[in-house]
A and B are shown apart, each in its own frame.
Chain A
């Protein structure tokens, strides 16, 4: 079991937040050690690996609410899949690293509710402004730490974006991606997964590692369709005090 004081959430959401992640080998007795945290933490997030029904039931009994499954995906780049039609479309779509004005457009899109399946946005205890600020701060922090943000372009018009970060040599983590509102119904959503793959191939990488929420079914389907395999799943519970 790992307990993290999520200090960044104080700035993002204005609440004291702790995140507890259980591992498959943790025992039910470990729960007694977090009783005080469950009762007094302003916003508590608990992640439990799937197949631990005993932990799930015990955590629900402590008053936590289930909110999503966090699905972790991996893709060896040599196993990436695209249909013929997707290949044709992908070849007509380009990408480029963002400049400051591109980031402002991205942040406006986020403020406009880009991430509708986000567990913060779905949580009535938080506002859409808090949810948007959390994403914007996250991107800004990751840029400071060396991550890149790319715009996805169709005929020189920004249609979406993806982020890109090397987490180990040859392993890349596109921690956020999405389509802009005007292109959300364009069918180009697959490029938010494919363009990071193209960039990882261009850099000579071997693998993409990422995760998404079970609340975002289209993105789950897109990962599977492009050859990703599931490397792990966590049930996510929350509690407000």
Chain B
């Protein structure tokens, strides 16, 4: 639960979205989630969970939900 809260907060602080928007949030669905926003989001997730995300996973990280699957690959239980 703590990890999920941390995961959510990275999105909320980076992309200026509300908790209620997260479940359907996808790349480019809000102006802040563009190429620049994506880099900020991934960098903060790496810092928050002390992981290094592979290039393929960064490219595949296309939504809040997809991101959960990707983060789980690094041993993080959300």
Contact = CB atoms under 8 A, between A and B. Distances in A.
A30 to B, nearest CB: 38
B43 A183 contact: no
Given A83-B43, A85-B46, A221 B59 contact: no
Contact of B36 (A89, A184, A218): A218
Interface of A is mostly: helix
B78 interface: no
A154 B60 CA distance: 13
Interface residues of B, number: 18
A187 B27 CA distance: 9
A188 B35 contact: yes
B28 interface: yes
A27 interface: no
A221 B58 contact: no
B21 interface: no
Contacts of B10: none
Interface residues of A, number: 21
Interface in B23-78: 26-28, 31, 34-36, 38-39, 42-43, 46, 55, 58-62
Nearest to B59: A186
A228 to B, nearest CB: 13
Ranked 6 nearest A-B pairs via Cβ: A189-B35, A187-B38, A218-B34, A185-B27, A186-B59, A85-B43
Interface of A: 83-86, 88-89, 92, 154, 183-190, 217-218, 221-222, 225
Interface of B: 26-28, 31, 34-36, 38-39, 42-43, 46, 55, 58-62
19 contacts: A83-B39, A84-B43, A85-B42, A92-B55, A183-B59, A185-B26, A185-B27, A185-B28, A185-B62, A186-B58, A186-B59, A187-B27, A187-B58, A187-B59, A188-B59, A190-B36, A190-B39, A221-B35, A225-B36
